[in-house]
Each structure stands twice: as C-alpha cells, then as structure tokens.
C-alpha cells in the first residue's frame, strides 16, 4: 500500500485533499492535528506525492521517480523539518525559506512539512509566520502537531485545519489480523491499546511490544502480589522510557476494564477480553472508587515520568499505592458500614 491508500479510516480527509488538487485549490498552509501515531506524517507525505506524481495525478502511483524520492525523504522540492534535540530552531525555518525562494527545478511545487510544529522556538515561529504571510504561487506548508494549542494563534489562523480521525477499534483489529497475522484475541487487545491510531497499532504489533504486553498482562492477572512486585522491578530496570510508558498504559487500560466491569458494563466493551475471568475476579476485591483512585495514580505517575521525574521514586510510590489499594478499599467499606449501622 502506498500514498493515500495507506490511510485506512481517513477517507474523508483524503477526498478533501484530492479534491483540492483536482480543482486547483490547494491551500498555502495546512495544520494537520492528531495524537502521536495517528498518521499525520503519512497523510502529509501522501499529499506531497499526489501533488508531484504525473502517473496518477491527484493520487500517487508509488513507483515513479517523484513518488519514490518523496517516500525516501530525498526529493529536492519536499523539505521535511523535524525537531532537533526537542526543538525546531530558527535556522531550520530559514533553510526552508531559502528553499522556497529558489525556483523549483524539479516538478512545479515546493512543499514544506514541519513535524512537531509545536516545538518551534519563538524565533522560529515568528520566522515561519512571515513565510505564511507572504504566500507564493505553488508552495504548500504542512504543519503537523499533536498539541496544536501550543502554536501561535496567528499561525493557526493562517492554516486550513485537518484533524486526523480516530479509527474504530474493530477496523484496526481486522487490519492487524489481515496484515500482521495476529490472532483475533491479540488483534483486539492491540487495537484497544492503539486507541484509534493506526500508526500506534502498527508500532504495538511489533514482536518486542507483543512480548511486553503479554508479560505485563500476566503480572496484572496474577492472583499474588508478587505479580505487581515483578512489574515494578521490571519497569525500574528497563532502559527505555517508552517501554515504561507502555507498561503504565497497559496498566491504565487494565484498571479501566475493571471499572467498566464493576459498573456493570457489557464484557464486549472491555479491551482485555482474553483476560475477562481474571478481571472479574479482581473486581470483587476493589471498590469502584478505589479503582478510579488507582487510575489517577497511574496517570499522575505517567505524567511525572514524562516530565523527567526520578523514575525509581515515582514507580516505588506508584506501586506502593497500588499494593495498598486493596486494604484501603476494604477499610473504606468498613467505615461505610460502620457509619450506616450507627445511624
């Protein structure tokens, strides 16, 4: 699959962009928004291919010289800027401007793709703003952002907005079964964790992530406290921050599933349907308010880790709180009953 065809579930956005090309109404600037792994860059690259491809104008053949060079990231008229050490700096925007000022020598378009546009420094953003204020002929700038609220309003107001759609869980699951050969059970779990994002689903379908997923779920499903303890140690020893983040995400979804079941939702609403029995078993141990509290604790810890909190301490505190939930949950039951019997 190549070009627009690889954008499953984004058909309305693709049609809109194709229509713009066919009718000669391509905007000078687009702001493509969506969570990490939702396909923003795939859409921008496919759009660039569709602009340049002469074999299938308005679409992309995937095999001509233009299509291949764009795909490989070395087309002279398609300039891609990505954050450098977490920031997009003014020098990068300047280079983009220089390129735009040059006469296009291959194809007739100039395309600039700014990945992680919200990381632009103030100087970079102001420099880019000038470029947006003086649009020239056949030039398009595509800003990609997962946090568009961090962009200057003056920049946003000059862009046509394109919001990536969340793809239904079932659609992602059947894609994973078909294209990655996952079993229906596993595909359903990965699709649930991907939360509407195809790129994220593809990432999670990699072998090392599947192995981790199984390990974390076995630890969570374990009846013994040792499960949680093993999880804490594994997370602390892991060298990859993303892997720890993933562990906490698996944990959050586990708790959400418990909450759904304990509030009487139908089992087919949960993500870990392959762990239904164990989830149900654990629901009996915790009150819904304790589960909500646990979800907050995990989300707080995830946020703290993202903000570079000391990992050992944060995870120690989190797992201590989680291990303690059971007893505190029961204590609150006792308190409740004690109160009602007294009145």
Stretch that binds Zn ion, among 26-34, 59-67, 127-135, 288-296 (CB under 5 A): 59-67
Task: Choose between 38 and 59: whose C-beta lies nearer to Zn ion.
Answer: 59
| Contact between 106 and Zn ion per CB under 5 A | no
Instruction: Number of residues interacting with Zn ion: please give it, by CB under 5 A.
Output: 5
String of contacts with Zn ion for each residue 2-41, x by CB under 5 A: ----------------------------------------
Strand 160-163 with 29-33, pairing: parallel
Stretch that binds Zn ion, among 10-18, 48-56, 193-201, 297-305 (CB under 5 A): 48-56
Alpha carbons 222 and 214: distance in angstroms, whole number: 12
User: b vs e for 78-106, b when ≥16 Cβ sit within 10 Å of the residue's Cβ?
Assistant: bbbbebeeeebbbebbeebeebbeeebee
Instruction: Give 155's Cβ-side CA count (13 Å radius).
Output: 27
| Contact between 48 and Zn ion per CB under 5 A | no
Task: Choose between 62 and 148: whose C-beta lies nearer to Zn ion.
Answer: 62
| Contact between 55 and Zn ion per CB under 5 A | yes
Q: Least distance from C-beta 144 to Zn ion, angstroms?
A: 22
Q: Least distance from C-beta 2 to Zn ion, angstroms?
A: 9
Alpha carbons 273 and 135: distance in angstroms, whole number: 52
Stretch that binds Zn ion, among 9-17, 38-46, 54-62, 216-224 (CB under 5 A): 54-62
Question: For residue 302, how many other CB atoms are within 10 A of its CB?
Answer: 19
Planar angle of CA 199, 10, 179, nearest 5 degrees: 50
Helix (H/G/I), strand (E/B), else coil: 113: strand
Q: Cα(first)–Cα(last) distance of the chain, in Å?
A: 68
Residue from 27, 35, 64, 156 touching Zn ion (CB under 5 A): that is 64
| Contact between 53 and Zn ion per CB under 5 A | yes
Alpha carbons 281 and 283: distance in angstroms, whole number: 6
Q: Least distance from C-beta 67 to Zn ion, angstroms?
A: 3
Residue from 8, 21, 27, 61 touching Zn ion (CB under 5 A): that is 61
Q: Where are the alpha helices (DSSP H) in 222-310?
A: 225-237, 241-262, 276-283, 288-306
Helix (H/G/I), strand (E/B), else coil: 85: coil
Q: Least distance from C-beta 75 to Zn ion, angstroms?
A: 11
Task: Choose between 53 and 131: whose C-beta lies nearer to Zn ion.
Answer: 53
Interacting residue ranges for Zn ion, rule: CB under 5 A:
53, 55, 61, 64, 67
């Amino acid at each position: 699959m190549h070009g627009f065809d690889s954008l499953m579930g984004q058909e309305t956005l693709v049609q809109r962009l194709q229509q713009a090309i066919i009718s000669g109404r391509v905007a000078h600037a687009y702001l493509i928004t969506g969570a990490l792994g939702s396909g923003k860059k795939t859409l921008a690259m496919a759009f660039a291919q569709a602009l340049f491809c002469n074999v299938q104008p308005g679409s992309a053949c995937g095999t001509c010289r233009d299509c291949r060079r764009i795909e490989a990231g070395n087309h002279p008229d398609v300039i891609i800027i990505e954050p450098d050490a977490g920031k997009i700096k003014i020098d990068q925007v300047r280079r983009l401007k220089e390129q735009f000022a040059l006469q296009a020598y291959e194809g007739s378009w100039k395309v600039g793709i700014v990945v992680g546009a919200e990381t632009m420094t103030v100087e970079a953003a102001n420099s880019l703003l000038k470029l947006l204020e003086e649009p020239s002929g056949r030039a398009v700038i595509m800003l990609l952002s997962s946090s568009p609220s961090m962009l200057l309003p003056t920049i946003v107001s000059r862009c046509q907005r394109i919001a990536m759609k969340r793809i239904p869980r079932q659609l992602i699951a059947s894609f994973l079964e078909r294209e990655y050969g996952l079993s229906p059970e596993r595909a359903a779990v990965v699709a649930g964790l991907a939360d509407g994002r195809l790129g994220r689903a593809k990432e999670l379908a990699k072998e090392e992530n599947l192995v981790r997923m199984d390990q974390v779920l076995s630890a969570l499903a374990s009846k013994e406290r040792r499960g949680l303890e093993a999880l804490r140690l594994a997370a602390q020893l892991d060298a990859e921050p993303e892997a720890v983040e993933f562990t906490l995400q698996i944990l959050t979804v586990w708790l959400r599933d418990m909450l759904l079941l304990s509030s009487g939702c139908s089992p087919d609403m949960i993500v870990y349907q392959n762990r239904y029995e164990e989830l149900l078993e654990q629901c009996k141990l915790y009150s819904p308010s304790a589960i909500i509290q646990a979800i907050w604790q995990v989300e707080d810890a995830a946020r703290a880790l993202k903000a570079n909190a000391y990992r050992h301490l944060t995870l120690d505190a989190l797992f201590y709180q989680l291990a303690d939930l059971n007893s505190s949950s029961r204590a609150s039951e006792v308190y409740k009953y004690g109160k009602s019997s007294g009145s």
